Chains A and B, each alone.
Chain A
Amino acid sequence: MRLFRLNPVTRRRWSRFRNLRRGYWSALLLGTLIALSLVAELLINNRALIVHYQGHWYFPTYADVIPGTAFGLDYAYETDYKALRQQFAARNDGNWVLMPPIPYSPFETDLRADQFPPLPPSLADRHLLGTDTTGRDVLARLTYGFRTAIGFSLLLLVFEYCVGVGIGCLMGFWGGGFDLGFQRIIEVWSNIPTLYVIMIVASIVPPSFWTLLLIMVAFSWTGMTWYMRTATYKEKARDYVMAARAIGAGGGRIVLRHILPNTVSTIVTFIPFSIAAGITALSALDYLGFGLPPPTPSWGELLKQGTDNLESLWIVSSVVVAMTLVLTLVTFIGEAIREAFDPKVHIHYE
């Protein structure tokens, strides 16, 4: 598709983006963070990476639950690999366990008889950012929460833009009664306060990831329509559309092959800010207790715990720093994209 082929304009934009160092490095850093969060199970997990037991190799990370009996333990539930590692080390008979750098899962409660959660950060316990009020590792919750948040906002973005761009484009392209009708619908629709609707819905049916996403999409697609409608109106009046029509191109072809690719700069510049908005919205909902059901790791829930337990400063500071960092990165990227796609930059033809 032409949309994704690197034409000279796109190439120029890309090189301009690369030259905006701040935005470019932010994009690289965020990309790395996302990539790392996708393989978080290998870095932060209570399941071992590798177990070598009596000549057999086990890789429990992505596998089925291995009961303790498989390693000669006396229980049928999932193996406690941390304990197993110590046992093997103590016996020193050639068996060994390799644990991830942070040996805690985001759901695992690390509770001790003599200490009460939240525990402060400790290198010895490998709780680099301490634990939360239930004794779960803050870094693990933060990482998996980041994955949830970024995944949520990316999916939100895709659905939202599909609907918003589609309807906005048609409004601009068809115009007339369709445009007028939808304008009124959108005006009414966008005046419904989304957060309140979600709270009301959440109080009746507890939301899951997908229902929450659906509700959010249902109320946030309107934002894009106005920009797309205007952009389409503008493009529709251009000569190349007239030319396409003159050689007999149909409506669908004109919209998809001609108008959409030419409005892509409008769409792209909004993307980073939509992502930031998605993350904030989900965190806000979780903070208020109307978001994803517990014990899903989430930033909003951590933030809530942090503000409720200000004397355990490590909780609130971790999540605030993480959130500020990610939102700043996204904003830097957004600024750079906006600049790179700015049509008002002068180009000299030689």
Chain B
Amino acid sequence: MNKLHWRIFGFIVWLAALPVFAQSATPQLPANLHWQTNDADPIFADPAAKRGGRFRTFMSSFPPTLRLVGPDANSGFVTYLRENNLSLVNMHPNTLNPIPELATHWAFDPDGKTVYFKLDPDARWSDGVPITADDYLFTLEFMRSKYIVAPWYNNYYTEIITDVVKYDDHTIAVRESSAKPPNELLFDVAISPTPRHFHKLDDNWVENYNWRVEPNTGPYQIGDIRKGKYVEFKRKADWWGNDRKYFKYRFNPDYIRIKVIRDLNIAYNYFSKGELDSFPLVMPRLWYQKAQGTPYERGYIGKIKFYNDVPQPVLGMFLNEDDPILADRNLRYGLAYAMNFDKVLKTVLRGDYERKQTQNEGYGDYTNRDIRARPFDLQKADEYLRKAGWTERGPDGIRVKNGQRLSLRVSYTSDDHTARLVVLKEEARKAGIELTLQLLDATAGYKQVMEKKHQIAWMSWQGGGIAPTYWEFYHSVNAHKPQTNNITNTDNKAMDDKIIAYRDATDKESRVRLAHELEQMVYEDGAYIPSYKIPYTREGFWRWLRLPPQHATRMSDVVFDPMGSTGGLLWIDEEEKSRVQKARITGESFAPINIVDERWRVKP
């Protein structure tokens, strides 16, 4: 969960600078609150879905703990736990409107920082205990506790979430430190409850709770664990949310078994033998080379390519402006024009990915669609490199200035990306730039970037939220010092002012305008070279898996996701399963399945 680390780190940094707001708890509910809810949006599950069966998937390592927070908790597996740890409200994955989850109604305070919630009185913990306002108060106490050894949460629940107020057992208010537009504020303060009756906070909490299954609020709970082998979730028979509008017809399999398979190729073999039900095939290598042959031709395994519309991860090259060579803006431009992403996309990536145009994409109105990434253009590259003073070429064809070669180090952490960088390296030689590739292990790479010792960092930041963020990436407060997310060391007064204006703006219109202007400044700064984006997910699945007619949702990262706010749509057709199993022996064929769903595709 490398990406998650980056993201969380970003938050820590961001939080550190926020002023602490004084708490003011008033147990009197303000009059004239305008309570809102949402039962008007269409459901996104299929009423034809059938319950039952076992969905089998895999993870690459066994989780180091079953805690949601604390040391080692941020592994890949924690996603499954979080998906069953519901929030007050969530986002409708197609309309992007808020929908009720643990709260039935919400209301905004005129101060722009506080949201009131009416809790669902039927909501129960998995051990049958009702969920009340006290569990939300406990979240604050729990997350601020030093015993959980989770500095990020300590910080977030102190400096962002400043207060939770209980009015009665089923009415609370959650307050944030600064005012925000309502749509952003609501999802920020939609916290999750923590079971007060389960936790005993003391010095041994981390060890004592390492392997204990915490009561949760979602449709599944861990039913069976074999250490090092698998974790199996079991559907709650009488889950309180069964008949809620947006939960109905979802979360259909009775069991979700997540098997540990450490190697992706071996995992694929499991899938092709029918031991796993679905498999991610986003990588061109898998989609074109592995996912071929008899089971696909005979229609036992289907393929789906589903375009989604979610905030894109910020992938690309981050240039360190504190580096003596890269400090020159003209050189940064020249470098950008020397990067042949087009060739990478057309060859190694088989034309499957798309060029990313700017840092923040997939944020709806906030996205500045006018910016185009600098294309591969040797003439422009030459022009800018000359402006930067790199006019001569050495005997090996690499530019030299005052005896120094134009050699730049690219640090990256995934071996899968070597092929892409090798092409860039070879093409950059044409412009007289040498790139040396430095493949680091994830931790070492993270450390190098956080200490700002890189020249060019090839990496990604996970996107998320409703609006892009700039403060942690580009404000000068975070430049020239370690452990901040301003890894380009951008230090620009005009940008600083705009970033602060953007953060302080509370109405959407001016925030959108400022976001567009900031995006333009990012482009002009030239310290970020966008690489590519993947506006879809691709998966393989056995014929017996069924989906609603619309397959997935606008926000779906994964089509065959058994749980989560966009998942739980699939079901297992047991009759079809036995038919397919029989056909595999007899060799009988079905119609091949090749689905391409473009309903949410964003036209470039």
Contacts and interface: CB of A to CB of B under 8 A. Distances in A.
Interface of A: 64-65, 67, 75-78, 107-109, 111-113, 116-117, 133-136, 202-204, 206, 289, 293-295, 304, 307-312
B10 interface: no
B430 interface: yes
Given A67-B393, A77-B432, A206 B289 contact: no
A293 B422 contact: no
Interface residues of B, number: 37
Given A78-B429, A134-B422, A203-B444, A64 B265 contact: no
Contacts of A112: 347
A322 B265 CA distance: 24
B441 A111 contact: no
Contacts of B423: 109, 111, 134
Contact of A134 (B395, B419, B440, B443): B419
B111 to A, nearest CB: 49
Contacts of A117: 347-348
A136 B348 CA distance: 11
Contacts of B343: 111
A112 B343 CA distance: 10
- Return the 7 tightest CB-CB contacts between A and B, nearest first: A65-B397, A64-B395, A111-B347, A77-B430, A203-B441, A134-B419, A294-B418
B212 interface: no
A1 to B, nearest CB: 40
B415 A309 contact: no
Contact of A65 (B395, B436, B439): B395
Contact of B429 (A77, A136, A309): A77
Contacts of B438: 206, 293
B425 interface: yes
A206 B348 contact: no
A225 to B, nearest CB: 32
- Interface of B, helix, strand, loop or mixed by DSSP: helix
B347 A116 contact: yes
Given A289-B415, A311-B289, 5 more contacts: A77-B431, A116-B288, A293-B438, A293-B439, A294-B437
Contacts of B443: 203
Contacts of B419: 133-134
A67 B397 contact: yes
Contacts of A64: 395-396
A293 B397 contact: no
Given A117-B347, A293-B439, A65 B396 contact: yes
B122 to A, nearest CB: 50
B88 interface: no
B203 interface: no
Contact of A77 (B289, B346, B397): B397
B378 interface: yes
Contacts of B439: 206, 289, 293-294
A295 B285 contact: no
A75 B379 CA distance: 10
B199 interface: no
Interface in B374-421: 378, 382, 393, 395-397, 415, 418-419, 421
Contacts of A307: 265
Given A133-B285, A293-B438, A116 B395 contact: no
Interface string B432-451: 10001111110110000000
Contact of A309 (B289, B422, B440): B289
A112 B440 CA distance: 30
Interface of B: 265, 284-285, 288-290, 343, 346-348, 350, 378, 382, 393, 395-397, 415, 418-419, 421-423, 425-426, 429-432, 436-441, 443-444
B139 to A, nearest CB: 37
A23 to B, nearest CB: 39
A135 B429 contact: no
Given A67-B397, A111-B343, A116-B347, A75 B426 contact: no
Contacts of A78: 397, 429-430
Contacts of B437: 293-295
A109 B289 CA distance: 19
A295 B418 contact: yes
B348 A111 contact: yes
Contacts of B265: 307-308, 310
Nearest to B292: A311
A203 B396 CA distance: 30
Nearest to B396: A65
A295 B347 CA distance: 18
A116 B431 contact: no
A10 B158 CA distance: 81
A123 B423 CA distance: 24
Contacts of B397: 65, 67, 77-78
B227 to A, nearest CB: 24
Contacts of A108: 426
Contacts of A65: 393, 395-397
Contact of B425 (A76, A77, A111, A295): A295
Most A CB contacts (10 A, CB to CB) among B419, B443, B444 go to B419
A76 B397 CA distance: 9
Nearest to A310: B265
Contact of A312 (B289, B425, B430, B441): B289
A138 to B, nearest CB: 14
30 contacts: A64-B396, A65-B395, A67-B397, A75-B378, A76-B382, A76-B393, A77-B397, A77-B429, A78-B397, A78-B429, A78-B430, A109-B347, A113-B346, A116-B284, A116-B347, A116-B350, A117-B347, A135-B347, A203-B443, A204-B444, A293-B436, A293-B437, A293-B439, A294-B439, A295-B418, A295-B422, A295-B425, A309-B285, A309-B289, A311-B290
Contacts of A295: 418, 422, 425, 437
A149 to B, nearest CB: 19
Contacts of A308: 265
